[in-house]
Amino acid sequence: MTGPAGRLSLAVLAAAALGAALPAAPARAGEARRPPGIEHCTATACHFDVPPGTYDVRVVLGGATASATAIGGETRRSLLPGTPVPAGERAVRSFTVDVRTPEGEPTGPDGSPGLDLAIGGPAPALAGVRVTPARHTRQILLIGDSTVCDQPGDPYAGWGQQLPRYLRKGLSVANHADSGESTVSYLRDPRLWDTVRARIRPGDLVLIQLAHNDKTTDGAAYRANLEALVAGVRDRGGEPVLVTPIVRRWFNADGTLDNGTALLVNGLGVDHPAVIRSVAADRDVPLIDLTAQTKALVESLGVEGSKALYLHDEKRDNTHTSVHGATVYAQLVRDALVARRLVPEGLVRAG
């Protein structure tokens, strides 16, 4: 998500150079420390030495010429979609970001400390930035597998990695999804469920999508594991949301998706989406039926048109999504959160 250095406006480069050249004035007694800003940026990136936590980021976009700027951060998260600004004008946007260690997948490498932003888009122009600790932020915590997680490298992307781009200041995404996890392994690993559970605050949303790797989990165990996750979230005052898994792109000859592999029925005959729907109904848990929604979308696009959603062309992979596919699926999640009144419409963006 980085753009060429030459496209950043000369005014921005001058401001950054001036900030680097002049020593900061010493703070007076009782004077608040100035929030870090554009002096911590280059043409394509910003780095802020902040401890783990939740931060509000305010950016000013635009320059002398017409621009279009997108902002990513940490482990390839999409934080702000491409934002066009006419020549000579400015646009202000704000978002809230989760900073933690590890910064990406919970069982992956620590990543770099602090907050990293990537400045991209077809014609990027960052005129200002300010980072401050978030005071009254609601979290959306994500529990999931490789189709949800912050994927570390191209061409892979999880829908949880793209969800932040659709949220405004005041709502953060803490993505604790991890590649290869089932309901069994997620509950057992202290880096996963124990860590998430400790982070839940009253009123937080916890979205749970685990099924792709429950290939050997029988129906009773799968149901019990989902119920344990739901109960654990509620014990902490959070609101669980069950999410049925995205479909795999496996077609029948008639253009419909395969009832087994594509729709997540494992070798033991466990229909994962059906069990999730049943638990949601029995435990009065909000449900986002991504299986039904992605099935309808993939079938409507057809065998050829649906390839762009997955990594079929790059990896012959019909399970994991491309950046495009992850972005489309994140939009489905955003729409469902608003439709079920789990998130106020004023806290989401259309981009």
346 with 278, same domain: the answer is: yes
In the DSSP assignment, the letter for residue 192 is I
Three-class SS state of 151: coil
CATH no. for residue 129?
2.60.120
| Tens of each residue's pLDDT in the chain, 351 residues | 433 333 333 333 333 332 332 233 333 443 456 788 999 999 999 999 999 999 999 999 999 999 999 999 999 999 999 999 999 999 999 999 999 999 999 999 999 999 999 999 999 999 999 999 999 889 999 999 999 999 999 999 999 999 999 999 999 999 999 999 999 999 999 999 999 999 999 999 999 999 999 999 999 999 999 999 999 999 999 999 999 999 999 999 999 999 999 999 999 999 999 999 999 999 999 999 999 999 999 999 999 999 999 999 999 999 999 999 999 999 999 999 999 999 999 999 987
Q: Are residues 123 and 169 both part of a single domain?
A: no
My answer on whether 168 and 237 are in the same domain is yes
Domain boundary among 134, 150, 181: 134
Count Cβ atoms within 10 A of the Cβ of residue 193 and give its class: 0-12 exposed, 13-18 middle, 19 or more buried: buried
Asked if residue 207 and residue 148 are part of one domain, the reply reads: yes
The answer on 348 and 206 residing in a single domain is: yes
| Nearest C-alpha neighbor of 283 from the set 218, 340, 228 | 228
Q: Are residues 116 and 81 part of one domain?
A: yes
Instruction: In whole angstroms, give the CA distance from residue 125 to residue 130.
Output: 15
Structure tokens belonging to residue 287: 């449900």
**350 is a domain residue:** yes
For 2, the token pair is: 């980085």
Residue 325 belongs to domain with CATH number: 3.40.50.1110
Domain end marker among 113, 134, 155 = 134
Q: At what angle do helices 219-235 and 272-282 cross, to 10 degrees?
A: 40
Asked if 103 and 250 sit in the same domain, the reply is: no
Structurally, the chain folds into a number of domains equal to: 2
Same domain, 108 and 208: no
Asked whether residue 182 is assigned to any structural domain, the reply reads yes
Domain boundary among 112, 134, 156: 134
Range of the domain at 175: 136-351
In a domain, 328, yes or no: yes
The whole-model pTM stands at 0.90
How many degrees, rounded to 5, is the angle at CA 151 between CA 157 and CA 41?
100
